[in-house]
Structure 1
Amino acid sequence: MKKKYKIGLHILIWLLVFLNDFFPKYLNNSFRSYANSGSSPLLLFNYFLVCLGYLGSSLVSFYTTANLIAPSFFNKKWLKGILFTCLLFIFIPSYRYLLEFHFFLPYLGFDNYFGGKPEVSWYIQNSILYTFYSYFIYGFIYFIVTEWYTNNRKQKELEKEKITAELAFLKSQINPHFLFNTLNDIYALTYRKSDEAPAAVLKLSDLLRYMLKESDDKFADLQKEIDYLKNVIDFFRSGKKEPHLSNLTLMAKLANNRLLH
C-alpha cells in the first residue's frame, strides 16, 4: 500500500473512532458537568474539545506501542521495550492530569470527578489500565498484522524475482545449446544432401524469431508455447533423429516458468 493511502486510511479510521465517541456523548449529554447547559454551539464545542483531548492520549498510546514498544519486544530488544513501556505509562497519567485539571476544568468547566480529587494511586492505576486494555493492545495487534502483511508481500516479491532469475538463467542456457545442436543437425542434413535441409533452415529461422522477439514478454500465450515446442520436436524428427533431451528439458522448463510468471 502506498504511503499516502496508508496515511489517509489511518486518518479515516481515527476520524471514525472520534465521531463514534463524540456524537453519542454529545447527543445524550453524557457529561454531568454539562447536564444543565442545554443545547448550544458552546456545548457542542466543549464536547468536541473534551473528546479530542482524550483522543490525543489514545493516539500517543497506540502509535508508541505499534512503532516502538512492539518492534522492540518482537526483535528481542527487551530493555528498549521495557524503557518505552515505562515512559508511556508515565506519560499517560501525566498527560491526563494536565488535560483534566489544567485545561478542561478551568477553561471548559468540565469536571470528571464531581468536585473532588481522586487518590494518586487510583488515578495512575486507572489511567494505565484503561490504556493497557485498549490502545496498548491494539498497537500490538496492528504491529503483528502489518508485519505479517509486509513479510508476505516480501516473500511473494522474492518468489517472483526467483522465477525471473531462473527464467533468465534457462534462456541463457537454451540459446547456445539449442543453436549448436540444431546447426549440427542441419549440417547432417546438408551433408546427406537431404531435401529437408531448406525446410529445416526456415523452421530454425522461425524458432529463433519467436525466441528473440516474443520470449521476453511478461506473459506467454499457451497455444504459442505449445506450437513452439511442437515445431522443435518436428524439426529434430525431420532430421530422422530424436530431439536432444537437454533441449527439450530446458525448453519445457522455460515454457513452464514463463506461464507461471
Structure 2
Amino acid sequence: MKKTTINYLHVGYWLLVLVQTLLVSLGTGVLGTTFDWRLFSQIVLPVKFLQVLSSAIFFYINYLFLIPVFLKKGNVIKYLPSLIATLLIFTPLYYFLEQRLYPMIGWKSYDADLNFWFAVMITLSSNFINIFLAILLSYLMDWRTMRIQKEIIEKEQFKTELAFLKSQVNPHYLFNTINDIYALTQQQSAEAPNALLKLSELLRYMLRESDDQFVPLSKEIIYLENVIELQKIGQKGLSFVNFEVVGEVNKLKIAPLILINFVENAFKHGTFNKKNNPINILIIIHEQLLHFQISNQINHVKKDKTGGIGLVNVKRRLSLIYPEKHELTIHQLENEFIVDLKIALYD
C-alpha cells in the first residue's frame, strides 16, 4: 500500500468520525423537530469539527511522537507520564472550547460550569479510544513495514540466486564450440560461417533475451535447435539427435535456459554417434502444459564422476520459478538416462 493511500485512509477515517458525530447530534434532536440549516452550518458543524480536530491532534501527538519515542523503545514508565502530561496540556484547550468558544457561537455542552478535574475527565473520555487506536495502528504499521522489508529481501535473494544459477549454464560448452569452429576455419570448412552465425545467435540469446524472467517458448526452442546444430558440427556429422516439437508454441512463455541443462547433460554423458542410439528429445504442448522428454544412452567410458551440478542447478531453478507447477522425474537405468519434465507455462 502506497504512502499516499495510507494518508487518504487517515483523512477518510476522521471524516467518518465527523459524519458520525454529526449524525448523533441530529439523532438526539439538537436541531429540534425540523432541520435548521442555519443552526446546523453555523453552530453544530463548527463545534463538531473542532471537537474532532482536537481529538485528531491528540491522536497524532500520541501516534507520531509519544509511542515511537517512549513506548516502542520499552520506556513504558516514561510513556505513561508523558501521555498523562499531554492529557493535562489538552485540558485547558477543552476547557476553553467548552466554556468560552462554544457558548459564544450558541452551543453549550453542559448545563453546569466545568471545573478543572471535570475537564480532565472530559479530555480523557474524549480520547480514551483514540489512545488504544494509536497504539494498535502504530504496531500494525510496524508489522506491515517488517513484512514489506521481508518480501523485498526475499525477492532480492530470489533474484540473486536465480542470476547465480543462470550464470552456471555450462561455460565449457561455449569453449568447446569455439574450439570446434576454430578447427573448422583451420580446415577452411564450408560449415564454419554457418557455425559462427549459430554461435552468435546463441550468445545473443544468452546475453540479452535471457535477462527477462520469461521468454517466448518459440525462442527457447530455437535456442535448443542451435545448440544441437552446433553440437552436430563439432562432431563432424557423427552426432544423431531426434528433436521433435508437437503442439502450438507461439502463445506461451517459459523461463529462459531452463531446458538447456538437460540437453547439455545428454551430450556430456551420453553416446550419440550411432544412428540406432540417438539422443531423443520430444516437446509436447497441450494447452498450457509443456511435456519435455529427453533420453540418451549412457557413455560409461567418459562418465564424469564430478558431474551433476547442472542438474542440481536446474532443479533449484524449477523450484524457485515454478513452485508446485512442475513435475520432474529422472530415471537412470543401467544403460539409459531418461528425463521427464512437465511445466505449467504462462501465456
TM-score by length of 1: 0.76
Give the residue type in structure 2 aligned to 1:142.
L
* CA positional deviation for 1:209: 4.9
Distance 1:223 1:121, change over 3 A: closer
For residue 170 of structure 1, report the CA deviation from its aligned partner: 3.0
Distance 1:143 1:59 in 2: 15
SS in 1 for 2:213: coil
**Letter matched to residue 143 of structure 2:** W
Structure 1 residue 74 and structure 2 residue 72: aligned?
A: yes
2:10 matched residue in structure 1: 10
* Distance in 2 separating the partners of 1:214 and 1:248: 22
Q: Which residue of 1 aligns with 2:116?
A: 120
Deviation at 1:204, TM superposition (A): 7.4
Partner of 2:146: 151
1:54 is the counterpart of 2:51: yes
Map 1:120-199 → 2, pairs under 5 A: 120-132=116-128, 134-172=129-167, 174-175=168-169, 178-180=170-172, 183=175
* CA pair 24-138 structure 1, distance change in 2 beyond 3 A: same
C-alpha distance in 2, partners of 1:67/1:112?
30
Structure 2 residue ranges without an equivalent (≥5)? 184-191, 216-252, 274-298, 324-347
User: Which residue, out of 36, 40, 57, partners 1:40?
Assistant: 36
| CA spacing shift, 1:258–1:217, aligned 2, 3 Å | farther
| Equivalent residues of 1:229, 1:251 under 8 A apart | yes
Match in the other structure for 1:246: 309
Residue 10 of structure 1 deviates from its aligned partner by 1.6
- How far apart in 2 are the matches of 1:248 and 1:202? 28
For 1:82-97, list aligned pairs within 5 A: 82=80, 84-97=82-95
Counterpart-to-counterpart distance in 1, 2:25 and 2:212: 60
With over 3 angstroms needed to count, the CA separation of the structure-2 counterparts of 1:83 and 1:162, relative to structure 1, is farther
Higher relative contact order (CA 8 A, sep 6+): 1
Of Structure 1 and Structure 2, the greater helix share is in: 1
Contact 1:22 1:51 survives alignment (8 Å)? yes
TM-score by length of 2: 0.59
- Once the two structures are aligned, what percentage of the paired residues are identical? 24
Structure 1 residue 79: deviation in Å? 6.0
Q: Is 1:104–1:110's contact at 8 Å kept on the other side of the alignment?
A: yes
Match 1:227 to one of 259, 265, 276: 259
CA shift at 1:19, angstroms? Answer: 0.7
Deviations 1:150-186 (A, max 9, x none): 11111101100111122233344x15xx223664599
8 Å Cα contact 1:207/1:228 also seen in 2: no
Q: Is the 8 A contact 1:92 1:128 kept in 2?
A: no
Is contact 1:100-1:111 (8 Å) kept? yes
1:219 and 1:259 in contact (8 A); partners too: no
RMSD, aligned α-carbons = 3.6
Q: What amino acid maps onto 2:132 in structure 1?
A: I
- Worse overlay, 85-94 or 247-256: 247-256
Relative distance call for 1:60 and 1:84 in structure 2 (3 A) is farther
Superposition deviation, residue 234 in structure 1? 2.8
Q: Aligned partner of 1:138: which letter?
A: L
Give the structure with the larger strand fraction: 2
Q: Aligned letter for 2:316?
A: K
Mapped partners of 1:256, 1:212: distance in 2: 23
Which whole-Å CA distance do the structure 2 matches of 1:234 and 1:20 have between them? 72
Quick one: distance in 2 between partners of 1:258 and 1:223? 8
Deviations 1:93-128 (A, max 9, x none): 2221111112001x22212221x2234323313421
Q: Secondary structure at the match of 2:210?
A: coil
3-state SS of paired residue (2:259): helix
Change over 3 Å in CA distance of 1:248–1:21 after alignment to 2: same
Q: Which structure 2 residues correspond to residues 200-239 of structure 1 after superposition, within 5 A?
A: 208-219=203-214, 221-222=253-254, 227-236=259-268, 237=270, 238=272
Distance 1:253 1:158, change over 3 A: same
